[in-house]
Chain A
Amino acid sequence: MINKISSLLIANLPKKNRLERIWILAKTDFKKRYYGTSLGILWALINPIFQLIIYYFVFSVFFKNDVPNFSLYLFSGLILWMFISESNKKGMYMISSNRHLIEMIRIDKHDIITAGLVSNSLALIFNFFVYFIVAAFFDIQYNANLLYLPLIIFNLMLITYGVNLILSIIYVYLRDFDHFWDIFMIAAFWANPIVYNESILYQYKIVLYLNPISGLIINMHNCLIYGKSVDFELLQLNLIFGVFIFIVGIFIFKHHSKKVIEIL
């Protein structure tokens, strides 16, 4: 099984500089997005910061809530959500916008999707870096539970990568799919405990089971802000979902990526 998957991942292409190639594609993408502008990488922050300010006002002034450390709760949730929504959007266009590379240069199409994810991950790392600086001004006790964070991020990557693979294929077939996806993502935002207390979701457990991202955000809050252990039920569920969507993504991509080129 593992052999099969790895052979799917590593197509019959020159492997010698694969990582370098992914890196330079990601770096180029990242550079073009942020460095050409005068504020540079700060743009990666400005969007979440403004959302943070808006939601903070709405949900702590108008609708009061009793979430401890609400600003950090909000900030970390937004960072994660922005990563998901931005990488999905980017991943969706990745195949169709890199048509010239796929047709003219011998390149593994996975590498293009991976590069998009790496580029977004750079912004994620930067945002977390800023988060930790901000969190230093709050009374936050970190403990060994923080070690769950890399696992959660890994889980996040699995899901995002799998979804990106699928979206990139769908978008070639259905060129208005991005509009549907936008609407879906607006709805999905509210299915996650980003701006409201996560205890509400525990009353509607079906949402927790159907939406793996909500579990990721809850577990991130637990280990990052509250120094608590993770919810193992959700963690298991999310990991299983992550592996599942990753494998499904790889298979769909493998099956369709050659056909898709002809209708690009």
Chain B
Amino acid sequence: MTEQPLQGHMYLFDSATPPLDDGSYRLTVGTQVDYQGTGQGFSRQHYFDIIGPRFSVPQSMVATTWPPSNGHGAFQDGLAHVVLSRRTLPWERELDPSNLIPPPTIPPGAPAAPAPPVPWVALLVFEEGEYTLLRNIPLQQAVPADVFGRLGSPANISCDAVEADADLVASILPSVEELQLLAHVRWVNVQDRELNTAGGDGYYAVVISNRLPEPDAQCRAVLVSLEERADLVQANPPPFIFPRTGATAQAEAAPPAEAEPPAAGLEVGPADVLPSPIFTLSQPPVHTFSPLIPLPVQFPSGPRVRLIALTSWQFTCEGPGTFRQLMQNLDVAMLGTVADVGHPPLADTGHLQIELQDRLGASEAVWYRGPGVPYNLTRDPNGPYHSADQARRVTPETGAEDVSYAAAFEVGRLLAAADPRFAQAIMRWRRESYKQSARASTIGAMEQRLTLSLPGTLAETLHTPVSPIIGTAAAQAVAASGPPLADAYGLTKVGGAAGMNPANLAAAWNLSSASEAADLLGADPGTLGAVATPPAPTIRPDTTLAEVAADTAGLARLSAARAQAVANATTTLGGA
């Protein structure tokens, strides 16, 4: 695992761009070879495409969304966002490669627009009734013809699209600068997360919407593609207002910012005093509509536009449902606590009464408790168990059987039996143990019966073959138990024979001396086992080739010998 932020820390980045944007590329490789004044150039072209998600985003790239998909809750004060596990996704394509969108006009005094890149996606929130989601339509129908042409007229592409009023889309679609502000990258710590977290490196791209969903509305958030949509994306953000806020309302109480000329016939009063609902026939009633309350019914009017929907999800703004509310409303207890005591029938130890068919087929009420218990228990020291029946217990208080541990035994057995590789491993474990056990028994038995001097580490050096070592040790022991083999070939005994003794021989044959008899016997002292000294080798000086060549006398002798040999051969062959 590469480094990651400290626990509790999070880093934010403006954008993350891939080394190359999506698109088609041409790679030209060239080399120039010069040899002895003449040169030759070689070059070759290759084409390759970088293809990323363009007309739909697979669900596997959506790490999470807020509000949750199909969630219900108080989402009306939050801006919906989608978290993408592919961190470069919003910046992988160009929003406007043809430069059809004019550069924004920045009013004096305002900060400069953020630096590129500009994301090509935006998250739009529509309420129920405002939009139509079109599933799997041809791309030609999802975008206007000129946009289709600028997209490269890809054939046979189907995509989802969302259709809504042009006015509505224009009122919520972010401008270029806003697009940039609504997407960023986060880098978080993923140490204490459960396992299915997509994007294991902790980087995520986040695309935010700019629209607050209405309370009590069912909404759909749609991640749309704005690639080449110069017809919709505005260079400058549309005009804005400050709705009456608590802070500004106080500050602006005195200046007549909102004090419009009063309607004729009405008494001019303080701005915050509503007209009296009492009216007379001479004075028509005054209806005041707050500009902040939208009309309950909106009729579709004007043209409708379609946008490519990359991914979308629905949520409903009703009731509590934020993370905080859900967490605070949790029912917290130890496992084994039930709201309605007796349903299910639970003992205070956490045991649950269940029905069981015993071996005879009769129904029996038994106790069961899972691995999660409400108390800290001591560990059963009576182990191991070899069958489930060993683990069955009868509780003295109730007389009923407790099958918890027997059930655990059986589920463990079934899980293990379902895994062929585990069966192989456990068989290998046993086989190895049996083999080592047999080996240790062999060594022990041999040492017990024979007084062998086996190496002390034999029992630990498991790969040493036992039989040759024991064989060698046994042979050594046998050899060590007899007299020393001084006269291995019986030469001393033979030497002791009467006919082989020089003194006896000299006496028998009436020789003058024993040495004479020894000569008769061969005079070879080695015969009788005595030590024979080899003759010293003759020392010869080293001779170099130059010395040999300079030895004229020797050369003359060799020449003479050769001439003699030639003469002899000539004579042998009959003159000539």
Are A and B part of the same complex?
A: no
